[in-house]
Structure 1
Amino acid sequence: MNPLASHPHPVSPAAASQTLNERVAELIRQKIVKGEFSPGQRLSEAALADSFEISRNTLREVFRTLTKEGLLKHAPNRGVFVAVPSIASIIDIYRVRRLIECQALAQAYPQHPARKHMREAVGMALRCRDKGDWLGVGTANMEFHMAIVELADSERLNVLFAHILVELRLAFGLLKDPEFLHAPYVDMNMKILEFFEAGKFTEGAAALNDYLVHSERIVLAVYARRMPEGGLDT
């Protein structure tokens, strides 16, 4: 089914194409966030075009967009692969996370609408943990941190952080043990939520900063171990 078939107003071919391209690009981003596409994985042009019911030319345009964003990598004569973030990128991602998230939490107020999103994310993580669904726990963790950024009431920050989360999931994808990676943060997220709902924003921001430092060290340690093995090449 054509995703634009139900559009209520006539659109130019260029506008229709752009809208379709944006939708497909977002679908691929979400597959990365959910862990369905792993870093270094080769993407089949034929299979994806069939799955999304789009032409290969359209898919190639989407691939070009996501390559510019650093989410995909084109290897001549080999195809298109999901990108593997560099160590420098990981360090930068965590630097930006600390600047955005800790400030958003420190300057929040208890009745902010994002509180519901934070609670829902914690609840989702608990349910996934009970089922042993560690990729699901990871997705819930992404939702929790997105909710923290929403406390800043900035659409620009929301858009920026959504992109950062896709890159972050790529980094997490290199850790072959999602339980080891995500299990500790379920209780940490609960504690941060408790600080937030109690109005203890300074304490919550400090706990979040420690949390992010801990997470960064784990990811960088995995990268350091895998580099000598050639595990970061696509």
Structure 2
Amino acid sequence: MAIEAAAEPDGAIAGTAEHAHTAAWIATVLRGRIAAGELTPGSKLSEQALSTALGVSRNTLREAFSTLAGESMVTRIPNRGVFVASPGIEEVREIYRVRRMIEPAAALWGEVTPEVLDAMESIVQRAQAARDAGTVADMADANQALHSAVVGLTGSESLRTLMDRVLAEMRLVFHAMASAPDFHSHYVDRNVQLVERLRAGHREEAASGLRAYLDSAEAELLGRLADEAG
């Protein structure tokens, strides 16, 4: 399905801000829509519709597409156009290589404040409520928010930016788990445990537990993708 005018334009893509006319800003907008689950794997990105909606030239839009293609967010298919990517096994492995290097280190050495812990606790409470209600999308949202908060412990804008890209790609991976609605549910308690360990000052346990969590999630995703490929 083609994305007409980037779904329904909101304030973020009204095209009135000066920075809206840069390829980097356009890439950020589209990446954000992918991270929010608004653009799904296989969706065609209409060049004409997007350039009109964003108020930019097609050349500028193509620059943004090139940026996202380099991040494995979109795929160019000759004579067909640009499509939101569908990450495969190798992409999942690369995602988890990055996550294993960043997230446990953030839990071990990042700056943990009472305010940050309260925010993280609020996120896991949202996840628990979503699990109880059987709302998979809300569980996925909470999961994304928590792991973004973990990387936020580093205080590094460069790592935040990298994690935003990784989480956007993760959102595409989650679509592969649509047939397994319980995928997120059994990680909710592990997220709760992570926050509890951080609050108790058990940083090494938090880091090692997070690494084991990531190993389990990767194995489950790879198994699911292998089954679908077979």
TM-score higher than 0.5: yes
Distance across 1 between alignment mates of 2:202 and 2:208? 10
Pairs within 5 Å for 1:157-172: 157-172=159-174
For 2:217, the aligned partner's letter is S
Aligned length: 217
Distance across 1 between alignment mates of 2:51 and 2:180? 29
CA-CA distance at 1:218 after TM superposition:
0.9
Q: What is the CA deviation profile of residues 118-174 of structure 1, one whole-angstrom value per residue up to 9, with x for unaligned ones? A: 223213323333443211211211110111111122222111111111122222222
CA-CA distance at 1:71 after TM superposition:
0.8
Distance across 1 between alignment mates of 2:94 and 2:60? 32
Contact 1:122/1:144 (CA < 8 Å) preserved in 2?
A: yes
CA-CA distance at 1:54 after TM superposition:
5.0
Match of 1:209 in 2: 211
Match of 1:17 in 2: 21
Correspondence 1:152 to 2:154? yes
Contact 1:134/1:178 (CA < 8 Å) preserved in 2?
A: no
Give ranges in structure 2 of 5+ residues lacking alignment: 1-13
Pairs within 5 Å for 1:14-163: 17-18=21-22, 21-49=23-51, 51-52=53-54, 56-108=58-110, 110-111=112-113, 113-163=115-165
Q: Provide closer, same or farther for how the CA distance between residues 49 and 120 of structure 1 changes in structure 2, counting only shifts above 3 A.
A: farther
Identity %: 37
Match of 2:15 in 1: 2
User: What's the TM-score, normalizing by structure 2?
Assistant: 0.83
Distance across 1 between alignment mates of 2:20 and 2:94? 36
4+ residue runs of structure 1 moved beyond 4 angstroms? 49-58
Q: What is the CA deviation profile of residues 169-217 of structure 1, one whole-angstrom value per residue up to 9, with x for unaligned ones? A: 2222222236222111212111110111011111111211111111001
Contact 2:47/2:58 (CA < 8 Å) preserved in 1?
A: yes
CA-CA distance at 1:110 after TM superposition:
4.3
Contact 2:152/2:160 (CA < 8 Å) preserved in 1?
A: yes
The 3-state SS of whatever aligns with 1:123 is: helix
